Each structure stands twice: as C-alpha cells, then as structure tokens.
Structure 1
Amino acid sequence: MTDRPSAPQSRTRLTGWIARVDWMMLFPVVTAIAWASGQDAVAMVLAIVLPVFLALNGDILRHRTDRISALSMLSSDQPLARPVLKRIVDDVLDDCARRDRTTAVLHIQVDDLHIADGGWGADAGDKIMDRVVQRVAATMRGQDAVMRTGDDGVIAMLAPTRRADLDIIMAIVDRIQSAVSAPISVDGRTVRVHCCIGICSEAMAPIRSGAAILAAAECALRIARQHGNDAVRAFNADIQMQIETDHRLSTQVEDALDAGEIRPWFQPQVETRSGRLAGFEALARWHHPELGILTPAQFLTTIASAGRSAELGEIILKASLEALIEWDRAGLDVPCVGVNVSLEQLTDPRLAERIIWQLDRYDIAPDRIAIEILETVTLRDGDETITRNIKAMRDAGFRLDLDDFGTGAASIAHIAQFGVHRIKIDRSFIHGIDASPMQCEVVAAILGLAERLSIATLAEGVETPEEQETLAEMGCPHVQGYGIARPMPFHETIPWALSLRAGPSAKLRMMQTQGSA
C-alpha cells in the first residue's frame, strides 16, 4: 500500500508540475481550444483562476524554478565553484524541509590519474574524469545531481528522498566504486582507476546547511584517503576530532622536524627458510610530546601539505646510515636497510645526487640501502625526472624495492624495465594465505614470474607462524610483518637481532616475538 500524500506535499507537487516551462507554454493553446469548442467554464478557469494561483504561489514557483535551474548546472562537465555548490545544497535542504524529505552528499576523489601523464597526452586526465562522471551519473537516480569539483573530484548529491540512511548510501557507494573501477579506454590504451568517498547525510551533518554538509563530506573524504584505494568514511564526531588533530599537527610539524621528534623505527625482515636477518625497513615515527607515538598514517599527509617530504626523507636516510654503522660496530650482519622514497622526492632532479652524497659521507656501500618506491610510481615511465632518478640510483649500486606490489596496475614485466631488485607483495595477498587456496595460487603466480625475471620477493604483513610456513614452502625468500616483529626504536634493534641469532629456530623465535608484542 502506498503512502497517501499530505496536503502540503500535494501542493508542492502541483506547484512543481506547473512550474515546468514546457507545460506552461501549452496553457494559451488549451484555453483557445476550450473557447472554440464552447467550453466556456474550462476557458474561464484557465484564463482567470490559473493567474490568481500563480500570483499567490509565486515564491514557491520561483524557488522551484531556481532549484531546477541550479541542479541543471550540474550536468556541465566543468567544475563548479564552491559558493555555487553551497547554494545548490542549501536549496535542496530547503526543499527537503518543505516536503519532509532528506538528502546526502558523497564527495568522491579519483586516484591514479597520474597514469595519464607522459605518453598519454595532456588531456588524458580530463578524458578519464569525463568517463568517471558519466559512470557515477549512471549509478544514480535521474533526479540526483552529479558534478565535477577540481581536477579529480566528483560530488554526488541525492535529490530529496524519504530515506538516506547509511545502508541505502552504502548501496550507492558500492555501485559507484564498481562502476569507477571498471577499465577505461582512452586514446587506444586501457587504464583502471580507484576512488575514495566521504559521506555526509543531512542527519550526520553538525549543522543543517550546505556549507556544513559539504565541509563534513570533505572531512570524511580526507580520512578515507589516508586509508588507501577504495576507502570510504562517513562523517561523525570522531572524524571531526581527527581533522582537528590534523590541523593541530600541521602547525607543529616544522618544529617537530627541527627538534628531531620525527625519526625512524626499524622493522626486521627475515629469510623464511633459515630465519636469518635479511635487513630492516626504516619507518617514520613522530614522538609527539602530548599525543604519544604517531604512525605515518597519522602525519604523512601533514608533512606533504607542509612541503617537507624531502626533509623527512633526508632525516630518515641519515638515521638509517647511522644505524648501519652502529649495527656493524655491534658485530651484527645487517645486509641492508629499506628507505621509503616518496613521489614528491622522486620528482626532484637532484634526489639521486643528494642520496649518493650522503652515502659517500658515511662511507656506506650503496647496496646496503634499498630504495623503496610504490608500485604506482613505475606507471609514470613517461616522467623523465623520475626515470632519471631511478636509473641513477640503480646505476650507482642501490637496491630497488617495489612496495605494496599488487595494489596498482603494473605488471612484473613492466616493472622489470626499471631494474627492480625485489618486489614486496602487499599484505592483502598474504593475510590468511595458509587457509586460502585462491590466495596461494595468486602468490604462486607472482613468485613464479618474479623468479623467471630474476626479481627477488618479500611478503609483507605476515602475522602467524602458519603464514610464514606456507610462504616458505612456496619458495618466498623473505618475510616481514608483526608476526616476525613490530617496528621498534633503534635502541631495541641490537638486543632483538642478537636474540634472533642465538635462538633455537626461526619458528620458535617468531612465536615468542608474537607473544610478547
């Protein structure tokens, strides 16, 4: 049984129907036909009653017309300015209030657009975004609004609806992400992109206004982006607090770098069969005087926003070189240390020169430093600066590790062109591998192809002895993860490495480490 509309709802529907210009143009014709056919009463109603009705309801009709006009702007392929967005959302909120309806805003950020650089052509990014907007629109209802905002953003807004709870919104999110992630053909080449989404419904908003809903959706998106591809977050009080914390950190980051509060912790990497130490990965930690130990997920975006990524990279490299010297003095065999290099650093034409200079200064052999780059960086093979830096570091003797392999769209064959020494298989393929035949098949395929191309492998995110044993049986030479050891400050690395060397077996050592974590 359908709900019977109330009187205000019926009135709104009638005014909205009358406000459509195409219908209004028919009234003079209908009136003339009524007079000609002798329907004087009908003609009188159309000629007199209708103008009176329009005069009495002019504000409602004007608002309805303005809202329809505003929403129609969203079909444009050009990004709209924020004041226009605020006005549109305010108009929809007003309409919701009159009709006892609700709405929601989804702020969508498209990742991986950088793959359209280089040989793709200057307008490839715009072409990809045009396809994305079309796909998002196809997942929505006809009356919903979809628009571009900025170079890689899309906003989807629900037209007034009876329900906009999280279950309904997440169903929309699933459709959007599925549509966006499908292959896109541009200029004869195929690409896949991902998107993160921030959500704010009318009920979630801290204040019932267009500005507040848009800002809240943007806050949720910012947090989602910190969690990687396809992450989704809905606005709540915790997100508001996290954004406030981010703002607080942004005012402190420069002093923290100068004061040495941000420095590396080291996570061990071991050989699966022998259990011997294969190296460490240097991971930044912020020793905040009030908030405690902060992980990279909590502050790297702040570092990047402050334009201090290069400085952070130099701090981590310098501390890693000093750590190697101290490990040598302690008689430990630490083959290499992995140091992460950001995309921002790789776009610096003098990056390779500075890193080589630092190694010369500390008299460290280049092959004891593994330069870790993200898989998506290899997709920028048309970027001359990045290619030049990678080639210079490889030619100088540095090891090249490819981080988070499997999360991007590059093939191992493509990666081999960069001279990568080792790929680090993303944790998403490793978790629960001992109980998943499908994951075993995928990882076995990666290991087999890597071996054929003489590329070493390391499995990230190993958490249990069973996962380590399975990987050892499959022939994965190196492992890393909480099941081996958590990242630790430098002063804990020497005792840990000494206990590893003296322990009875790799498996027992891992179980002991896991139990004490």
Structure 2
Amino acid sequence: MQFVRKYAYRALKLLTLRRPERLWVHSCVALLIILGLLGATNYINRNIIERQLIAETGIKNTQAQITYAQEILLIAERMTSGSITSAGPIKKAVAQFERTYAMTVSSTSWTDAQNAHYFGPTDPLHTQVIAYAGLASRLGAASPVQYAGLTRQLNDLYATRGLGNGLHAAAALMEREARADAVRLSDWQRNVLFVSAFALLAEAIFIFVPTHLAVQSTIRKLHHQTKTLRDSQGELRAMNRKLEQIAHQDPLTGLPNRTQLATYLRRMNRREKSIGLVVLYVGLDNFKAVNNSAGHDFGDGLLIAVGQALQNCVDDDNIVARVGGDEFVIVSHEPAQVMIERIRASLADPFEIKSRRIPIYASIGYLTLTTNTQDPINIIADASIAVQTAKHLGENKTLQFQRSLRDDVENMRTLQAELADAIRKGDIEPWFQPQIRLCDGQLHGAEVLARWRHPTRGLLTPDRFIPAAERAGLVVDMDHSIWRAAMAHAVLWQREDLWRPCISLNAAPDTISDPHLIERLLLEMQRSGLQVDQIIIEVLETTLINGADDMAAINIDGLSECGISLELDDFGTGYASLAKLTQLPLDGIKLDRSLVAPLPEARADSIVRAILALASELGLQVIAEGIEESIQAQHLNERGCAIGQGYGYAKPMPAEEFRVWLKAHAKVPLFLAPPVVQISASP
C-alpha cells in the first residue's frame, strides 16, 4: 500500500508541475484518455448494433413462424372442408415452419423460460405442431373427419396452449430489447460526449493553463532579469574598471605591478625606444626584520613610503613598479649612475611611520638595454639576478648585470638539483679536524666539517655548496646527514678504544631555527650511543640577531637543558651584541682565524686579551681557530686560551685518515715545533 501511495504521489506531482518541459506529460495523458474513449465508443456501438441486428432477425423469424403457423392452420381447415385434397401445400408450409423454427431456436432473444416452454426437450409446442402437421400431410385422401381432428389439435396448440401468444410475446420482447439497446446507445453516446467534454476541459486545465502560467512566470522572470541586468550594468562597469586596476596595479602602494611593467617594456620595444633605457631592480635589505620587530602594519607603511620616494625619483615618462614583497623596479631614460645616486639619496634618511623612525637600506641590480627586441620577462629576470647577487655581497650594495651572473645562477640551480641526490646517497661526508689543549698538548675534541665528493667537480668545500643548500631548503637535512655519519664514525673509534670522542657539530641558522631540532638530535644520539657530554653544537653569530625570543634562542635553551654544550663560532667577525653572551646559555666561544693570524702583534694581542678576559668573566671556554705556528699557540696559552685548532696541528681529514691520525696522536701530547732559524755563514 505504501508503494502504491508513493508512486501515486509522484505521478500527481509530475502532472501538477508547471514547468514547460513537463507539459508533454500532460499531453500524453490527455491523448491516452481520448484514445481510450474512442476505442470504448467503437466497441460499444458495434456491440449494440450487433444486438439490434440479432433482435431484428429474431423478430423477422418469429413473425415468419407466426405466418407459417397460421398458414398450416388455414391449409388444415381447407383440407377439412375438402377444398384442398393434396398434401403438397401443407408439406410446403410445414417445411417453411421447420426452417423458421430452426432460425428461431438460434435467436438469442428468448428467455430461459420461453426456450424451455417452446423449444425445450420435453414435448415442446413447436414439435407438437410439426408432428400434427406432418400427420396431416401423410393422411393423403383421408376423410374430412380425420382432418377435422388434426385441425382442432393444431388450433388448440396455436390458440389455447399459447403457441401464437408465445410467438407474439417473443417478437414483442425482441422489439423491447431493440428499443432498450437504442436507448442504451443514445445514453452511451451522450456519456461519451460528456466525458470528451470533460477530457477537453481537463486538457485545458492540465496543459493549456500550466502552459500559460509557465509562460507568464518565464516572462516575469525575464523582465526581472532584464531589470536586474540593467541595474547592475553600472556595477559591472565599475567592477571591470576595478579588475583592470587590480590586474595592472599593486593594491598596497598603488604602483604598477609586474604585468604593467612588462606591458610598458613591450610598448617601448614597439616604439623602438628601448635602447638606452636603464632598468634598476631595488630590493630592500632586512625588510623581514622590520616586519618581525615593528609589525606588518609598519612594514606595509614602510613599503608605501618607499614606493612614494622612488616615484619621486623619476619623471612622468618613466615607471616605478612593485614586483615583489620588498622589491621595486625603476625604468628610466636617465643614466644609471644618476638614478642610483638619486635612489640612495631618497632612502638615506629613516622613514617616519606612525611616529616611529625606521631606517632602511637597499641593494640595487641594474642593466642598460641595448636593443629594441629584448623580452621584458628576461629583462626583469636579469635585473633580479643582479640584485640577488648584490644582496649576497652584503647590505646596501649595487651591482650591474653581467652574463656571467646568469651563468652563475644556472650553475647554482644545477648544484641545487644535484645536492638532494648527494645528501640521499651520502656523498656529502664528515671530515674531522683535531682540537688540542694548549696547556698539555692532549687531544680535546674534533670539529666536524662538511665535504662533498662531487662526481665531476671533485672535492667541494662548504663555501661552494652551502649557499646552494640554503637556497634549496636542504641545509637542515644536510646537517643532520653529516651529524649522523660523524656520530657513527665516533662510536666506532670509541669501540676500538682509540679515543673517547668529543665532536663539535656545526649548525646552520636554518638548522638551529628548526622546530624539530632537539627531537631529531636526541634520536640520532640515542641510536649512535654517544652521550650528551660528547656532543657540542656550534652556532654562528648571525643566528642570534633575531633576539632571544625566536625559535633559535628557544632551541639553544632546550639544548642546554638537555646537557648539550653550545659554542659561538667565528666570534669577532659578526655583530652579535655582548648582551647575547649573557642572555644565552653558551659554554664557549671560538676566536675567528682573522684574529689569531696577526698574533703576536700588539693590536691583535689587545683584542684577543680583551675577548679572553670577557670570556673568563662570563665563564666561557675559548677555542682559537687558525693556529699555524707555535708562537701563536704559546701566546694564546699564556693569555689563558684553553683550546686551539688549525693547520699547525692537523688539517681536516676524512674519517679513515682521521682514524690513522688518532692511532698515532690520540694518547700522545702534541706540540708545535718552533720554527727553525737559519743562520747564514759569513763570507
């Protein structure tokens, strides 16, 4: 029942839909109804006509039978009176009566009672009439008395026993049935007309009315949409102007963007005005530090102010575009040096942003166009290469683009692509340089340095591939790969009882700032079997410039809490403030070789003594790098420096070579021999 209700509801819903695409369903339903009515009308008309034909035939047969029955009676009376003496007439009348009798029997108009009375199997009236009539035809020349008896019998059958009345009643019944069929036919035709009218009305309701409503609704929607489109035409124009502005203008500074800059350069090419154009790529130095320290609102304000200052450096015929976060491009017809001096002057004074004065410096890469066919994308890319190279040279630098710079960039990209495979394959390996206690010459530890055995370029030192690793974001994985290998070698030497290792691991700024540094390092130490007192982490001064609350400082505190010693590498060459030495849990500092090399000169000695005194006050151990002569080792020892390393003791060595060195020197004091003074003989 639920199934029937479900589909009945769906059918009703389908029929009551007003959408034009559903009106064909209504048309099909109406067509089926009309076809059904036509079929039913045809069937009923044919049936009634057939019944009328049967009734008409029955009436004719009944009337004929009455006529032949009366003819038999008439012939029988004449034979009684002797006017007819031959049996031929009565035989003919009997034959006709029998024929009509057979036809009457086949009529379907008789009732069951009439059939039983007149045509039934138990001595029916028709049979008796035929029997008496047949007897009369066989008497031949019988006496009139015999014919009179038969005539009385036939009259009795016809009049008294009801043959005549029955035949008349059957005819009347057939006439009534014929009239009733005619009435039924008329009623059916009237009903068909009524149903057809109802179907046409239903078709109008379910087809034409929904069509009208659907068309009216569609027209109203079209009018509404037309009005909406007409009303929004102005908004679309405004939006198109805004999109056009967004597509060609920097939303923060209002300056042209990279797309508009490329369009400008193409226009200059088409007008053949590109020759002599100077393209200057200006990149702000340490802008990220401004965002981190002052906030992004100040950073955005600074960018707007710098963009306005650079805009004031050019005429209306030239263009200043912002092409990156802190990068601008100036295209000018004036000489490059004039524009560079003007840009430097515009950025010389600090910018006042929200009552706060913020100084900013910029690196500049530039080139001068020599043809009218250079691709704008390549022009901008070349200038970008120049400014990036200038940034690597230091702050506030200027560099002109040369083809060799592009070659260097391509070489760097190739090196970056090869570096990932090298780290995975272990081609970047740890080398070891001994660290000696200056007081007794005993082995203190070893610094782990990176070397890359490149298949085509040979042995590469860190200055050749570390920049590529930093740009490719691989320096963290590279450091951990070197550390794991160094720990594995150190554990082998400890198992061979060559030396209880103490290794210093260099950590790049990105590695120290890695949020997962401590977890990874402790896991690698656990797997190797080394203890925390056998590992020293060396960090650069440049790592500490972001303050004590950044990720690097957090990791340094965490490493110290784990018992791992930390040393500040290349001290004296960077710009770490003395406050950092007191704020961070450092265990030692390493004097850069540039401070050790001039010893024992007085000026260098003064600097070294000051650093050693400061370290002593802070409880920091000092390791001197770059010791090559015994006088340097002796001088540092006398001033209180504890540890030294350098070519005078040993150069960095691969693991197998360092193993041999350990066998010879790990348990034997090592001192540098004084230089041999050669005295020439006097002539």
Q: What range is the shorter-chain TM-score in? A: 0.5 to 0.7
Unaligned runs of 5+ in 1: 1-72, 511-517
Q: Give the one of 431, 450, 467 matched to 2:615.
A: 450
- Amino acid corresponding to residue 159 of structure 1 in structure 2: S
**1:393 partnered with 2:559:** yes
Q: For the residues of structure 2 that align with 1:329 and 1:170, how far apart are their CA atoms?
A: 66
Pairing 1:352-431 to 2, within 5 Å after superposition:
352-381=518-547, 383=549, 385-427=551-593, 429-430=595-596
Q: For the residues of structure 1 that align with 2:634 and 2:351, how far apart are their CA atoms?
A: 40
Cα offset for 1:243?
A: 1.6
Unaligned runs of 5+ in 2: 1-248, 677-683
Q: Secondary structure at the match of 1:281?
A: strand
CA contact 1:261–1:288 (8 Å) conserved in 2: yes
**1:487 partnered with 2:660:** no
- Give the aligned partner of residue 260 of structure 2: 84
Per-residue Cα deviation, 1:126-160 (whole angstroms, up to 9, x for no partner): 5666787789899x7889977654334455x4733
Cα offset for 1:304?
A: 3.9
Cα offset for 1:202?
A: 4.0
- Give the aligned partner of residue 278 of structure 1: 444
- Amino acid corresponding to residue 462 of structure 2 in structure 1: P
Q: Give the one of 463, 469, 478 matched to 1:303.
A: 469
Q: For the residues of structure 2 that align with 1:194 and 1:336, how far apart are their CA atoms?
A: 43
Cα offset for 1:399?
A: 0.9
Q: Give the one of 475, 498, 508 matched to 1:342.
A: 508
Under a length normalisation based on structure 2, what TM-score does the superposition of the two structures give? 0.51
- Give the aligned partner of residue 379 of structure 2: 213
- Give the aligned partner of residue 326 of structure 1: 492
- Give the aligned partner of residue 406 of structure 2: 240
**1:159 partnered with 2:339:** no
Q: Point out the structure with max Rg over C-alpha.
A: 2
Cα offset for 1:222?
A: 3.9
Cα offset for 1:210?
A: 4.0
Under a length normalisation based on structure 1, what TM-score does the superposition of the two structures give? 0.65
- Give the aligned partner of residue 56 of structure 2: none
Q: Secondary structure at the match of 1:397?
A: coil
Greater helix proportion: 2
Q: For the residues of structure 2 that align with 1:132 and 1:406, how far apart are their CA atoms?
A: 34
Distance 1:419 1:195, change over 3 A: farther
- Give the aligned partner of residue 64 of structure 1: none
- Give the aligned partner of residue 317 of structure 1: 483
Q: For the residues of structure 2 that align with 1:191 and 1:443, how far apart are their CA atoms?
A: 35
CA contact 2:269–2:372 (8 Å) conserved in 1: no
Q: For the residues of structure 1 that align with 2:465 and 2:538, how far apart are their CA atoms?
A: 19
Distance 1:272 1:246, change over 3 A: same
Which structure ranks higher in relative contact order (CA pairs < 8 Å, sequence separation ≥ 6)? 1
- Give the aligned partner of residue 111 of structure 1: 286
CA contact 1:102–1:202 (8 Å) conserved in 2: yes
CA contact 2:448–2:506 (8 Å) conserved in 1: yes
Cα offset for 1:169?
A: 8.8
- Give the aligned partner of residue 428 of structure 2: 262
CA contact 1:400–1:420 (8 Å) conserved in 2: yes
Q: Secondary structure at the match of 2:659?
A: helix
Cα offset for 1:363?
A: 2.0
Percent of aligned pairs with the same residue?
Answer: 29
Cα offset for 1:375?
A: 2.2
Cα offset for 1:80?
A: 5.7
Per-residue Cα deviation, 1:21-78 (whole angstroms, up to 9, x for no partner): xxxxxxxxxxxxxxxxxxxxxxxxxxxxxxxxxxxxxxxxxxxxxxxxxxxx899847
CA contact 1:378–1:418 (8 Å) conserved in 2: no
Per-residue Cα deviation, 1:344-376 (whole angstroms, up to 9, x for no partner): 334443321221122122221212211122323
Q: For the residues of structure 2 that align with 1:98 and 1:209, how far apart are their CA atoms?
A: 14
Q: For the residues of structure 2 that align with 1:398 and 1:299, how far apart are their CA atoms?
A: 28
- Amino acid corresponding to residue 111 of structure 1 in structure 2: N
Q: Secondary structure at the match of 1:506?
A: coil
CA contact 1:286–1:294 (8 Å) conserved in 2: yes
User: Alignment length, in residue pairs?
Assistant: 429
Q: For the residues of structure 1 that align with 2:630 and 2:327, how far apart are their CA atoms?
A: 43
